[in-house]
């Protein structure tokens, strides 16, 4: 009599564990699908990729790089004394429907966006230290958001 009762109790616990594992497995699949379908993930990735592209163009172009090194930080692309060639490069490489700002700062200082924007802003930065003749470390930062 007791053995029958004991076996039924074991079977009950096994069923509870099986049900729990099934629920965990289903939730895992749902979370994986939600992450892949997330509408923000694709746009975010595109904005980040474009931010890096903007910075790489300036970093690899000798004349643009020299303009960054020669400028007196802090300065941003909204200021009138910001180098026009850097501004043109920024405009040329900015995606349509996107607004971007370039900031040149000293390496030690924080490089913060001075605009009050009520949208999600994505930023990337690089450090440019020197060219063949000049050692003048600068932080170049780009801020972009959907217009």
- Taking phi first (over 0 means left), then psi (-120 to 50 degrees means alpha), and beta for anything else, what does residue 60 get? alpha
Which pLDDT score is estimated for 42? 53
If asked whether residues 49 and 25 sit together in one domain, one would say: no
Mean pLDDT of the chain: 82
Could you tell me the pTM of the whole model? Answer: 0.66
Q: Does the CA dihedral 132-133-137-139 come out positive or negative?
A: negative
143 closest CA partner among 128, 127, 125: 125
pLDDT above 60 (res 3): no
If asked whether residues 28 and 58 sit together in one domain, one would say: no
If asked whether residues 52 and 103 sit together in one domain, one would say: yes
Which pLDDT score is estimated for 111? 83
pLDDT above 70 (res 138): yes
Q: In terms of C-beta density within 10 A (0-12 exposed, 13-18 middle, 19 or more buried), how is residue 139 classed?
A: buried
pLDDT in tens, 32-82: 887 766 555 555 667 778 888 888 998 888 888 888 888 888 888 888 888
If asked whether residues 6 and 46 sit together in one domain, one would say: no
If asked whether residues 56 and 113 sit together in one domain, one would say: yes
- Reported as a pLDDT band with limits 50, 70 and 90, residue 135 is confident
Instruction: Please name the residues in contact with 120: beta carbons below 8 A apart, sequence gap of 6 or more.
Output: 145, 146
Range of the structural domain that residue 23 is part of: 1-37
pLDDT in tens, 9-21: 677 888 888 999 9
Domain count, the chain: 2
If asked whether residues 70 and 136 sit together in one domain, one would say: yes
If asked whether residues 72 and 10 sit together in one domain, one would say: no
**Two tokens, residue 16:** 């509870």
If asked whether residues 130 and 61 sit together in one domain, one would say: yes
If asked whether residues 22 and 67 sit together in one domain, one would say: no
pLDDT top residue among 31 and 26: 26
If asked whether residues 46 and 106 sit together in one domain, one would say: yes
If asked whether residues 122 and 142 sit together in one domain, one would say: yes
If asked whether residues 111 and 80 sit together in one domain, one would say: yes
Q: What mean pLDDT do residues 89-114 have?
A: 86
**Two tokens, residue 138:** 């600068």
79 neighbors 115 (Cβ within 8 angstroms): no
pLDDT top residue among 90 and 37: 90
Which pLDDT score is estimated for 22? 93
């Amino acid at each position: 009599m007791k053995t029958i009762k004991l076996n039924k109790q074991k079977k009950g616990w096994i069923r509870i564990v099986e049900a729990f594992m099934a629920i965990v497995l289903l939730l895992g699949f749902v979370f994986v699908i939600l992450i892949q379908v997330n509408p923000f993930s694709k746009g975010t990735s595109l904005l980040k990729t474009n931010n890096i592209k903007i910075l790489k163009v300036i970093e690899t172009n000798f004349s643009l790089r020299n303009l960054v090194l020669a400028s007196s930080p802090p300065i941003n692309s909204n200021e009138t004394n910001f180098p026009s060639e850097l501004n043109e490069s920024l405009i040329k490489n900015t995606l349509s429907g996107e607004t971007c700002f370039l900031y040149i700062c000293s390496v030690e200082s924080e490089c913060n966006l001075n605009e009050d924007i009520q949208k999600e802003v994505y930023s990337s930065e690089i450090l440019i230290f020197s060219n063949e003749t000049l050692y003048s470390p600068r932080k170049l930062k780009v801020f972009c958001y959907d217009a």
